[in-house]
Amino acid sequence: MPNGKPGDDWYTDIVVHGLPTFSAEADRLVSQIAGPKGGPRYQPLVVLVDGLLAEVGVDVLAARSSTVGVVYRNLTPDELARLEAKLRTLRASLPPG
């Protein structure tokens, strides 16, 4: 269960702690979509990212040894490109501001 500490959850790692998590572009888009720190989680963002992670598979991510314990950081370049494209589409659908 996420508790908000660094390395615990991709959302808080990016939005609250400002930690590099996926890629610079994906992290920037997540921050833009999420809005101010400490605000409620923007549900379409969470569904999008969690959906991609589930699509790849937690077991597959965990088997990749690049980051022990933080499986969501183990996306391949192709998976990151898909995530970035989905995030750009979500960002474009939001009102300016």
For 14-70, the DSSP string reads HHTT----S-HHHHHHHHHHH-STTSPP-HHHHHHHHHHHHHH-HHHHHHSTTSTT-
> For position 2, what pLDDT does the model report?
59
> For position 66, what pLDDT does the model report?
61
Domain extents for the chain?
10-93
Q: pLDDT of 48-92, one tens digit each?
A: 999 999 999 988 888 876 654 566 778 899 999 999 999 999 999
pTM of the model: 0.86
Q: Is the dihedral of CA 29, 33, 37, 41 positive or negative?
A: negative
Are the C-beta atoms of residues 25 and 9 closer than 8 Å to each other? no
Q: 């610079």: which residue's tokens? A: 24
